[in-house]
Amino acid sequence: MSFIRRAIRMRTTLMTMPARAAALAGALGLAFIAPAFAQQQPSPAQRAAAVIVLDGSNSMNARLPNDRNFKFVSVRDALRASLPKIEGTEVGLAAFGARRARDCNDAEVIVPPSTDQSRVTSALDRFQPRGFSPVVLALRTAAKALPQGVSKASIVLVLDDLASCRGEDPCAVAGALKRDNPALAVHVVVLGPRPVDLPVLACMVRQTGGQLFQVTDGPGIAPAIEEALSVAGIQRQTATQPVAAAPATTTPGTQRPAARLASAAPNASSFDTTQPGLHVSARLADGAPHLLAPTAWRIWRTDQPRSPEPNTDEPGAQERPANQVLVVEAIAPTLSRQLPVGRYEIEARSGLVTARRTIEITTSGPTLAPVDLNAALLKIAAPLAKGAAPAAETTLEVSDIGTTNAPVWVARTGARDLVVPPGSYRVRATAGLATAERVLTVGQGVSGDAVMPLDAGHLVVEEQSPATANAQGGTQIILETDDPDSSAGRRELYRAQANRLDLAVPAGSYLLTVRRAGAEQRDRIQVKPGETVRRAGVLAGVRLRLLSRIGTGFPRGMSVAYRIERVDVPSRPMHRWGEPEPIFIVSPGRYRIEARIGGQNAVAVREVDVRTAPPDQQLELDTGAGGIQLKISGANGGLGLGDVYWQIFSDRGEPVWRTGQAEPLMALGPGRYRARAELRDRTLEQSFDVRSGDSRVIEVGG
């Protein structure tokens, strides 16, 4: 028996419901008002259109537990059975990943929406998964196919994961599609959901007013798809929402009665109380409506001996009594199963709370078993700005300040309804550099609203500079804020070694610096709440080649050390050593450039203005030095490294240079020098003069 069939599916069923079933429904907080149906019939002019989007990725060729068919086969069969039940709705079919393997552009509308549903069922015969999962592209493609002017537009997305092609945030895209088409709702049927995908999928349906159906085994596929198509079509009958028998008290400003919990999802799944079976739901407290959030269920049979070889993989299997056997394990808002007469223990786990109840099935009729969690509900949402959609990149953290004051729950999501024990909690939301925090105290059966606008915006920066494309090192993006207490007048908030930045920042004024090699761009930017500020870091870089002269020639075989520093704005100097003709990438401005040849006293210093044109420039620096090579007279190349130790002194006796090379080559500024050569058996000295532009050999000891 389906665990998500609605008690309000068919008007005839509701009108002929036995009194006993109606009483059982009341035990779950469900109210049925027959006269309301005639008032809620759709007008003849009402139009509904839906596009079914099928996952054609290769993972749909796998199986769910308790299913002999592949996932795509069970989905196809469920659609064939469910489509005739939504007469009057224009239905189309789209798919992704079904045409080509390993292609993130594979999304198409196979059948445009029309009232001829046979076209959809015929197209299902040709559907075969084989590719990747371009979910975002498929959503956009399906939204474009929906006809204009309909009063109800739906996308029914059937998939098993978001494993590939995740360049964009599906939640943000769903919100954008909703803004473009206010009549749109996205309903998601997810097969065997992965925990990492659930927050994204839940955000998608929350953004558009849709519903999320989680299927954990094969028997759940058909009822989930039937329910999704039902809420996407023209509803011929609807029921009132569950109403609590006894409203809970509320604290103004922070809490609301549990009776309003069901109003967040008016089409939430219920169960057909006219059918036999065990129907279970979770409630915050006695008399509250059943929760709409997925709940982890486990049901044990407690009146039969356990099999000789119990499933030791079951959590806590060794601690449970021998007469308890696990018969059901599933995740769903509510659960319906046909079970034989007997005694059972039901466990419901939602959020941070686990509750159990023992029941007795005595007849073949419906047995309703609400499980009271004796808990509270934190409804957490963290939008960037007041009234905006929750920010998907947010990290939410809940701490129990009534006991340990330590975090008890952390998740990467912009919104979550979290079931917690009654108590006091600190809820903290963090997105990029923005944070918000609230403290709530919630009692049993009470829902506490923790909507925390981050008062932030998005800063998107991308460096796009052809002039620096081949420069050494990566791009730095630096974000600073004004700080009068700092000596520099500003304080660094964020620094990233990347050519792209997408960061949530608190509303305010910032100094943005994009730097690569020696080129940089600085902008003063203003970020407002909920705003996305985009900046393209197109650095006006100039390629500056430096050459050092010795007279009319250039140094050969001698290393040159360069230092370049901008003097018109504060900046860090750049250094390069060992390259005879280095290329610096610099921004337009005024620079002090120093070249030191050979590490001695041959130095050239110039200040130059670098302009934007031309993009490639060359600067020659003449040190005014002379090139000198020292030799031992008569050695004729017979000396090696370490056979002689050279020292060069200025005319004032100051040491200028030392080396162990046999025949050193050096550049010296104009002047008089004394060379000392210490050999193994003797020491030689000789004075010599250096003139600008010299290029000669000095023999010592001749």
The predicted pLDDT at position 551 comes to 67
Q: Say yes or no to pLDDT of 3 above 50.
A: no
pLDDT band at 323, cuts 50/70/90? low
CATH number at residue 71: 3.40.50.410
Higher-confidence position of 260 and 515: 515
**Strand 152-159 relative to strand 48-55, pairing:** parallel
Q: Identity (one letter) of the amino acid at 604? A: A
CATH number at residue 429: 2.60.40.1120
CATH number at residue 679: 2.60.40.10
For residue 318, tell me if it sits in a domain: no
For residue 696, tell me if it sits in a domain: yes
How many other CB atoms are there within 10 angstroms of residue 537's CB atom? 24
**578 lies in the same domain as 487:** no
The string of pLDDT tens digits covering residues 57-104 is: 989 999 998 888 999 999 999 999 999 888 789 999 999 999 988 888
- Whether 295 and 349 have beta carbons less than 8 Å apart is answered as yes
The string of pLDDT tens digits covering residues 413-468 is: 888 889 999 999 999 999 999 999 999 999 999 989 999 999 999 999 887 765 54
**195 lies in the same domain as 88:** yes
Q: Say yes or no to pLDDT of 52 above 90.
A: yes
**182 lies in the same domain as 61:** yes
- Whether 231 and 9 have beta carbons less than 8 Å apart is answered as no
**530 lies in the same domain as 592:** no
pLDDT band at 529, cuts 50/70/90? very high
**63 lies in the same domain as 130:** yes
Q: Identity (one letter) of the amino acid at 580? A: P
| Of the residues 537, 556, 591, the one at which a domain ends | 537
The predicted pLDDT at position 486 comes to 80
Instruction: Please state the rounded mean pLDDT for residues 222-240.
Output: 70
Cα angle: 226, vertex 232, 235; to 5 degrees: 90
**403 lies in the same domain as 498:** no
Q: Is 152 helix (H, G, I), strand (E, B) or coil?
A: strand
**688 lies in the same domain as 585:** no
**483 lies in the same domain as 563:** no
- Whether 259 and 243 have beta carbons less than 8 Å apart is answered as yes
For residue 672, tell me if it sits in a domain: yes
- Whether 206 and 54 have beta carbons less than 8 Å apart is answered as no
* Domain encompassing residue 647: 626-700
Reading across the β-sheet that carries 665-668, which strands appear in turn?
A: 665-668, 626-632, 695-700
Mean pLDDT of the chain: 80
| Of the residues 418, 451, 484, the one at which a domain ends | 451
Q: How many domains does the chain fold into?
A: 5
For residue 311, tell me if it sits in a domain: no
**446 lies in the same domain as 462:** no
For residue 608, tell me if it sits in a domain: yes
**Closest CA relative to residue 471, chosen from 370, 574, 567:** 574
**504 lies in the same domain as 476:** yes
For residue 283, tell me if it sits in a domain: no
**124 lies in the same domain as 57:** yes
The predicted pLDDT at position 489 comes to 83
Q: Say yes or no to pLDDT of 111 above 80.
A: yes
- Whether 384 and 528 have beta carbons less than 8 Å apart is answered as no
For residue 197, tell me if it sits in a domain: yes
Report the residue count for the chain: 702
Higher-confidence position of 18 and 515: 515
Q: What are phi and psi of 59, to 5 degrees?
A: -70, -15
Q: Which residues of 307-324 are buried (b: 16+ CB within 10 A; e: fewer)?
A: eeeeeeeeeeeeebeeeb
**444 lies in the same domain as 499:** no
pLDDT band at 473, cuts 50/70/90? low
The string of pLDDT tens digits covering residues 196-226 is: 788 888 889 888 988 888 898 888 899 889 8
| Of the residues 592, 622, 652, the one at which a domain ends | 622
For residue 292, tell me if it sits in a domain: no
- Whether 170 and 135 have beta carbons less than 8 Å apart is answered as yes
Q: Say yes or no to pLDDT of 677 above 80.
A: yes
- Whether 345 and 371 have beta carbons less than 8 Å apart is answered as no
